[in-house]
Structure formats: structure tokens, C-alpha cells
Amino acid sequence: MKFLDTLKNKRVRYGSLSTLMIIIVIVILIFVNLIAGSLDIKADMTSSQYYSLSQESKDALAALNEDVTIYALARTGQEAQMLSTYVGTLTFKELLSEYENVSPRIKVEYKDPYLYPQFATQYAEEDGAVQAESLIVVSEKRHRVISPSEMITFGIDYNTYQQYVESVDIEPRITNAISYVSAENAYKIYSVTGNNEVQISESLTSQMGMAGFDIDSVDFATTDIPEDCDILFITQPSRDWTEGVAKRVANYLENDGRAIFAVSYVGFDMPVLNGVLEAYGVSIGSYIAVEGDQNMMADGPLYIRPNVLEHDISANLKSRQYNPVIGQASGVDRAAIKKNSTTIEDVLVTSGQAYGKVNMQTTTLEKEAGDVDGPITLMTAVTDSYYTDTQHTSKIVIVAANGFIDENLDYAVGGANYFVIVESLNWLRERTDAFYIPSKSLPQDAPLTLNQAQIGIMAFMSIVIIPFSILAVGFIVWLRRRHS
């Protein structure tokens, strides 16, 4: 009877109810932890969702129509340590598992380069070996090797001359490699040499490679254009072309050729080079573009944030919030005569307040008599399409600024310029299903890296220590209330 009387006591009832609620909360916490662990639930806490697969990657994986295997060269038992110096323990391994989770056509296999020393040799280039911690992305069509140095981009702090991690390119490299090995065709780009042209930077070469293009160079002064050339990449020459070079390029374009010109006026006329372009209704202007609208200047009137017009090349610029900058540019002028088969579409233009500075010896950037009125076209896409016995199509993209391919300028605008170039290459080859993810800057959020011991401690704290501490506090409160 005393026990039943005790249960009728109001303080006992309240204490028992409190204890019961604590137990229920503990059970719920344990249940949630167990469910979360079994479902492998994770949360990316970076502001840009940096450590999650982007929607572009998910779209690329959804479009896969064949199986792709990703071989990761890691020592047995050290798979979680791949690139851990830069991205932390487990990050690389878990990102690879994300690819398997998103697409059933992706398979990840780890190969120990010490246990299987001959495995990677079948994928090695003629002049080198495949490094440890590399990835080998393989389909039935082709393969691509991604070295550790390609997945981490380094910069130099010129104040301290110390190297630092500028960007982590793991996801862009993997997704673009998957797109490349599964594509129906692999496209070959040849850059023109022989007239002391501005060189294409390693950074741009890398971006084009990630987008599924193979790049080589050829001296057209002495060599014919190779038969496997899909796109010519023509950069600023230090002198005008010879008639022989112009004839080779013209013949190539006439036979369904594709080309991108990154050429501007640099103080001397280029009548032979311009003669090739004039056959398609355009030419490089003999002036330098000066922007008059303060809102469209990036770093003074010679560095222009152009108006982006509607075109397939520029379609993804706005959605990605990219703002290209064209520096020290000329204009793309319309030629006096244009064939009916030719379509000319402007992509990037200045404001109406811009003008073309004709006198290169002038000491002022103010508009003078004889300067060209704006707006000025900075980038144009040309299509020449006609029918004889079959359909013939030639396509050209002209960017009237040799500095558009400069890697320092591209870095300053967050990769926007190189993105435009890659989108231009895709347009030239009608790659409407191409997936290309540019390099990502390293997030400002510092990654949280835990070793296995720390993970165990946190699990013990959340599952055992914290719940039982709450239970102990509740029991003490109940005892105090009972005896008060």
C-alpha cells in the first residue's frame, strides 16, 4: 500500500513523467543515429555545396548510355587517404562512391599499383608512366588518365613565393572524363604555329581537354592541315600570313571546316589573314575598342564587360552567372560583300558609347575625329551553309582580342573567358549533348577532417555519453524533488 500511495504523490507522478520523457527522447536519438548510419546520410555544410556532386554532373551521369569504369590507383588499405593532404581523409573516396550511387552505369575499382604493377601500363602514354593516386576512366570506346596534379591546381603567392592550392578540380576532371570516354566522337583541335603566334596556355589546354577535345599544334607554313583536324584554333600571329598559309586555311574551311580566331589589330594590317575572313562576310577592324560606359568597364576603358547577346554559345553564361571580360580588343567588322549562304550572328558587343580608336600613336583615349562609332562587335559566330550534291557547312567563331585567351585575365574573371571558348568549340561541332564542368575555386569554408579515432569518439559521445548524461541529470532532478 505504501508503494501505491507513493505513486499517487503529485511529485512522484511529475518526476516519473519527466523521466519517461527523457527516456523517450534518448530512444528517439539512438533510433535516428542508427537510421542515419544505415542510410549513410551526409550533409555538405559548405556554402557552395562544394563537396557534393553538382547538378551538371548528375545530368551527365543520367545521360550515360554505356558502362564506364573508374580505376583508382591506391595502396590497399589506404584508399581513404587519396589526395588527403589537399581534401582531407575520406573525401576523395566518398566522392567516387557518389558517382556509383548516382548512376548504375558507373563502377569504381581500386587497383594497388604495387600489387598490380602492369595494370596501368596499358593506359600509359608513350613517354611516361601512370602515377599512383591517378584515376583511369575507361569505356569501350576510349580511356582517359587523370593524374593527381591535374586534380589539384596550384598558385604562387608572389608576396611570399609560397605555393598554395588554388582550386580542387576532382569533380570537373572526373565528370568531363566520363563525358569524353562515352562520347560518340573524340574531337581533335590543331593550333596554328609558324608565325610566332600567341601560345595557348596550359590552363586553356587543360580546360579544352576536360571538355573532351584533344589538342595538338601544326606549322601551316610547311605542313598541310591534318586530315583528322576537327577545329583550327588560330591565335594572334606576329606578322601577316603568307599566301600559302592562307590558301591552306581557306581550302580547309571551304570543305566543311571549323575554326576559332582569337586575333586582334596590334598596330599593323593583316590583309592576307583578313582575306580569308572576308570570304565569310567579316574582317578584323584596324582599331582598338574603347568603352565609354563606366558600367561596362572592368579595369579602365580598354577592358570591357560586353553585352551578352542571345546565342547557343552564350546560353549558359547567365545561368552560371559568368561575366567575361575582353581586353584590348578590336572589332569584328562586316565585309562589303556577304554570300547569301552565310549567316553572321553577334555574341558579345560593346555599349553604344564605345568607339574604335584608329590612331595607335595618339596619347589620349578620348574619342577623336575619324574614330569608329559604337557599338562594336567583339565576338561573332559565322555559319556558311549550302547544298550541292550534299549539304556543306562551314563554321567560324571570331573573338577580336588575342588577350581573351590569357590565363591571368581568365583567372581574374573566375573562368568566364575559357568557358566561352569551350562553349564556342561545342557550338562549332554541334555538340548539343556535351557536358563540361569548369574548374572550381577552393571554397572559403575550411573542410573538417577527422581520423578514425576522432570519428569513434564523436560517435561514442553522441550515442552513449550525451544521452546517458541527460538521463543522469533527469534522475538527479527526480531524486531532489522526491526528497524536497
Encode pLDDT of 308-347 as tens digits: 999 999 988 877 788 999 988 999 999 888 889 999 999 9
What pLDDT was estimated at residue 51? 60
Rounded mean pLDDT for each run of 10 residues along the chain, 484 residues in total: 53 62 75 64 54 81 91 90 79 88 93 89 79 91 88 78 78 88 86 86 85 85 86 92 91 94 89 94 94 90 93 86 90 90 94 91 85 93 89 94 89 89 93 68 50 66 73 73 66
Digit-coded pLDDT (tens) for 420-474:
999 999 999 888 666 677 665 555 444 445 556 666 676 677 677 777 777 777 7
What pLDDT was estimated at residue 434? 67
What pLDDT was estimated at residue 42? 58
Q: Which CATH superfamily is domain 55-148 in?
A: Glutaredoxin (3.40.30.10)
What pLDDT was estimated at residue 444? 47
- Residue 204: CB atoms within 10 Å: 23
| Per-residue three-class SS string for the chain | CHHHHHHHCHHHHHHHHHHHHHHHHHHHHHHHHHHHHHHCCCCCCCCCCCCCCCHHHHHHHHCCCCCEEEEEECCCCCHHHCCHHHHCCCHHHHHHHHHHHHCCCEEEEEECCCCCCCCHHHHCCCCCCCCCCCEEEECCCCEEEECHHHHEEEEEECCCCEEEEEEECHHHHHHHHHHHHHCCCCEEEEEEECCCCCCCCHHHHHHHHHCCEEEEEEECCCCCCCCCCCEEEEECCCCCCCHHHHHHHHHHHHCCCEEEEECCCCCCCCHHHHHHHHCCCEEECCCEEECCCHHHECCCCCEECCEECCCCCCCCCCCCCCCCCEECCCCEEECCCCCCCEEEEEEEECCCCCEEECCCCCCCCCCCCCCEECCCEEEEEEEEEEECCCEEEEEEEEECCHHHHCHHHHHHCCCHHHHHHHHHHHHHCCCCCCCCCCCCECCCCCCCCCCHHHHHHHHHHHHHHHHHHHHHHHHHHHHHHHHC
* pTM, entire model: 0.73
CATH number for the region 185-428 comes to 3.40.50.880
Phi-psi region of 430 (alpha: psi -120 to 50; beta: other; left: phi over 0): left
